[in-house]
Amino acid sequence: MVEEESLRVVRCGGSELNFRRAVFSADSKYVFCVSGDFIKVYSTATEECVHILQGHRNLVTGIQLNPKNHLQLYSCSFDSTIKLWDYTDGILIKTFIVGCKLHALFTLDCAEDSVFVIINKEKPDVFQLVSVKLPKSSSQEIEAKELSFVLDYINQSPKCIAFGNEGEYVAAVRDFYLSVYFFKKKTTSRFTLSSSRNKKHAKNNFTCVACHPKEDCIATGHRDGKIRLWRNFDDEKKYTYTCLHWHHDLVMDLAFSVTGSSLLSGGRESVLVEWREAAEKNKEFLPRLGATIEHISVSPAGDLFCTSHSDNKMIIIHRNLEASAVIQGLVKDRNIFTGLMIDPRTKALVLNGKPGHLQFYSLQSDKQLYNLDIIQQEYINDYGLIQIELTKAAFGCYGNWLATVEQRQEKETELELQMKLWTYNKKTQGFVLNTKVNMPHEDHITALCFCNAEKSENPTLVTTSKDGHFKVWILTDDSDIYKKAVGWTCDFVGSYHKYQATNCCFSEDGSLLAVSFEEIVTIWDSETWELKCTFCQRAGKIRHLCFGRLTCSKYLLGATENGILCCWNLLSCALEWSAKLNVRVMEPDPNSENIAAVSQSSMGSDLFVFRPSEPRPLYIQKNISREEVQWGVFVPRDVPESFTSEAYQWLNRSQFYFLTKSQSLLTFSTQSPEEKLTPTSKQLLAEETLPTTPFYFILGKHRQQQQDDKLNEALENELIQLPLTENIPAISELLHTPAHVLPSASFLCSMFVNSLLLSKETKSAEEIPDDVSMEEEKESVDSDEENNFTEEVQDTNNTDLGKDIIHQLSKSEEKELRKFRKVDYSWMTAL
């Protein structure tokens, strides 16, 4: 049972993993990244999220390891606080209240009880680097108001600040200026490059900076793709720099290796470049990383690199430039044209992903499952090039069919339009292209929907277009003398007074089709495709259209652009009720009669949950988001919730997710992100004796039992019930572990089978004689109580067994048998 007050809006995914540089733990076992208001801890070996550090009330802007304790992590946020975490247990240790917005965080080994942050002064574009003294105190919340000025007129991005030569100086870049502050001398040197105004086609703007960890050398990246290595910068007149040039576009980030023997660079080419000994000739490349490299991180041990990419993913790379792990978040596309859909088979969230792809995103594990290439063309990263856009998608027939629409329009009169229908292949466990239709309409397609009625014999798809028509597509036999095949063909074309068709949807039983033509809603018979009736309220162009479900299937709802929500009764063909509501999102719950509508106001977005049978909302929540909500979807629950409050019962069978304008995925939940982590994920962080892989749950526990004899003896005497196989973490993890990380099958088989079987020594409660169980308890009671218990046991045995009285062993005999039982006789099999 869930209490009413515990329901709240939470961020469930979609946060940027690439907002700041990732940070490695000292032993390279874990990698930390900011994710909205949270900090996520991932295992570098398994890609599992093992902890979510939550406590900040605004966007987290920086994370760094504590130089004094490598098991602790500092973080800063727009909420004006610096927090210290124990990341192994996910515990917040201290909170330092600074009192102003913090844009980035830096730590130094030589800086005692101080950290460096970037703050914003009075003007919005003026940023300063300051040192914050962290006072020592036993309380959890401490005010840290002692700020020391270091540098002025800097960039707010942490990529434009770097500390060098073990903290002797700090370098900052902005526009065409390089500033270097020396801590011992307390002096600042400034260097300027010529601007594009003075030199034709010059793009000398600084984009990032990195400092050599051991020497006086500064590397700067520039907009023209060049990398400059600065030396002798302690003298503004004698300084020198050399150029390295491979990138054709701006350099996004730079990082030196731990020893400083090589320099890493990345940009829009999606290639990681390693400059060894900072020489032009000694270059190594790791190409085809999939998206623009935005950040580069190096582990303190020097054995791993991490690149953060524009498609919201992180790649863990070994020192030999081999990618070992990919942590993929929700891909941030420029526009989500397809909306939010749920794959009926995997229950994954489906929406636009990489250019020309659909991404399948697991809401339970908060990571991407896979990408489906729809356009099937090589993507060219050119801002001036007009790309092919994936604009529409819909699932049909319980996930057996997928329809997609792609378009490209360079001029108003040159529209390239293509519709593809994909069938699910059970052998390959993926979608295969079945039918391709060039120019299915003469103008842009505005909507498409499948008839998903249970009694529907023939799959049916409807598309609407601005050309004033809607088309009905059916699956037909396309066999020939060579093979049996099926394909899609147009069965019917409908229109209404040359109005643009804007929306379409089928009723729950598939008997009716509703198509909106601007301000008019038309109802068609799906058997004969005859026009049955029309609804016209002249309240504006129809923006959303949907039928009621279950007991409310006789109602049709429509939301207009003028802010009117209408409900029509299909039996009486009349308007049932209307309300003034600026609906931006309207989604029906597939498992109930409830409909969720999100409206936009000057204060933010509001949620209304109602049933079409009555205009009174079941649930209202104001300001679910400060920004505009663009899409929403109901996701059926695997296990229903048990909300007893009438206001919250709409969440019992399904969970409502919505996507904001900044592409943050939010939902209503009673659990924190930390509570959503699987027990297996938490164990990955708790166990330290062996490599934290899923296989450890078999091998690690097996070794631990061999080493601990006392624990074995206690376990042998306990009554053990065999759990269900699906509840055994070892088995479920083993089945999902890649084959290349598993040991040989001969070594693995015995332990895997043993985890499924009940040990011979372990008997059920019915098989174990009562006298043996009572002997176990004799050690914890005095001698008088022992005699009483023995008499009771003997009486019980005589009653249960009748005439067949078993000889009762003495305590010494029972111990001898127990020792005998532990002797390993496996050597006899080799004779």
Q: In angstroms, how far is the first alpha carbon of the chain from the final one?
A: 61
What are the tens digits of pLDDT across the range 130-183? 999 999 888 889 998 888 999 988 989 999 999 988 889 999 999 888 999 999
pLDDT at 203: 79
Domain count, the chain: 2
Residue 700 structure tokens: 């690690």
Q: Is residue 92 part of a domain?
A: no
Q: What is the rounded CA–CA span in Å between residue 390 and residue 82? A: 42
Nearest to 40 by CA among 79, 10, 85, 78: 85
Q: What is the rounded CA–CA span in Å between residue 801 and residue 795? A: 10
pLDDT at 737: 66
Calculate ∠ Cα 201-203-208, nearest 5°.
Answer: 170
Looking at 298, 319, 336, the residue that finishes a domain is 298
Q: Is residue 442 part of a domain?
A: no
What are the tens digits of pLDDT across the range 692-710? 455 555 555 555 555 555 5
pLDDT at 485: 85
Nearest to 47 by CA among 304, 279, 324: 324
Q: Is residue 580 part of a domain?
A: yes
How does residue 771 score in pLDDT terms, banded at 50, 70 and 90?
very low
Q: What is the rounded CA–CA span in Å between residue 418 and residue 72? A: 54
Q: Is residue 494 part of a domain?
A: no
Q: Is residue 678 part of a domain?
A: no
Cα–Cα distances (Å) from 725 to 683, 734, 749, 754, 756, in that order, read: 19, 12, 16, 12, 7
| Coil, strand or helix at 790 | helix
Q: CB-based contacts of 748: which residues, under 8 Å, 6+ apart?
A: 695, 698, 742
Q: Is residue 182 part of a domain?
A: yes
Which residue has better confidence, 79 or 791?
A: 79
**Across the chain, what does the average pLDDT equal?**
82
CATH of the domain at 665: 2.130.10.10
Looking at 298, 319, 354, the residue that finishes a domain is 298
Looking at 271, 298, 325, the residue that finishes a domain is 298
How does residue 758 score in pLDDT terms, banded at 50, 70 and 90?
low
The range of the structural domain enclosing residue 646 comes to: 551-671
Residue type, 123: K
Q: Is residue 601 part of a domain?
A: yes
Q: What is the rounded CA–CA span in Å between residue 677 and residue 650? A: 25
* Exposure b/e, 164-189, CB count within 10 A at least 16 = b: bbebebbbbbbebbbbbbebeeeebb
Count CB neighbours of 438 within 10 A: 8
| Dihedral angle over CA of 694, 700, 702, 705, nearest 10 | -140
Over residues 399-427, mean pLDDT: 91
pTM for this model (two decimals):
0.73
Cβ–Cβ < 8 Å for 327, 317: no
Q: Is residue 455 part of a domain?
A: no
Q: What is the rounded CA–CA span in Å between residue 557 and residue 543? A: 11
DSSP states of 563-629: SEEEEEETTTTEEEEEEE--EEEEEE-TTSS-EEEEEEETTEEEEEEEETTEEEEEEEEEEEESS-E
